[in-house]
Amino acid sequence: MNIWGIPEWLESEVRARDKACVYCGVQMIEKVPAGGSRKAAATWEHIINDARIVTRENIARCCAACNSSKGQKKLSDWIQSAYCKTRGVTIDTVSEVVRQALLLRTDQVIQ
């Protein structure tokens, strides 16, 4: 289990699935070079902000820029934010795992 409470089997599965940010699609880096930007650094993400949900449908990898922007916002609110609009992040451009979270969450209806 890693420091975020993600079991090793799930961590391996998600790392294999999410090579690019699940939100913006940028190719992520594992380690930031000295003096480099952290924007593309790979981070762990709960798609639905509930640390109790540790499943392949809720754990993902995203870039530090998207993770920082999303913070604790509801996914449906964040995807309509200025950050997402500026970067072209929509329900049609996010990865399948995020799209499914948006479509399946009845409390997070997209208008």
Q: How confident is the model at residue 64 (pLDDT cuts 50, 70, 90)?
A: very high
**Does residue 29 have a pLDDT over 70?**
yes
**Does residue 107 have a pLDDT over 60?**
no
Q: Read off the pLDDT of residues 33-48 as tens digits, 9 standing for 90 and up.
A: 787 777 889 999 999 9
Q: Read off the pLDDT of residues 81-101 as tens digits, 9 standing for 90 and up.
A: 999 999 999 999 999 999 999
Instruction: Give the sign of the dihedral formed by CA 63, CA 68, CA 5, CA 98.
Output: negative
Determine the pLDDT at residue 32: 78
**Does residue 110 have a pLDDT over 70?**
no
Q: Which residues contact 42 (CB under 8 A, 6 or more apart)?
A: 28, 29, 30, 61, 62, 63, 64
Q: How confident is the model at residue 31 (pLDDT cuts 50, 70, 90)?
A: confident
DSSP-based three-state secondary structure for 60: strand
Q: Dump strand ranges (E) for 50-110.
A: 59-63
Q: Which is nearest to 75 in space by CA: 108, 44, 51, 111?
A: 108
Determine the pLDDT at residue 105: 62
Contact in structure between 47 and 70 (CB atoms under 8 Å): no
Give the distance from CA 101 to its chain's centroid. Answer: 11
Q: What is the mean pLDDT of residues 25-30?
A: 92
Strands 59-63 and 42-46: antiparallel
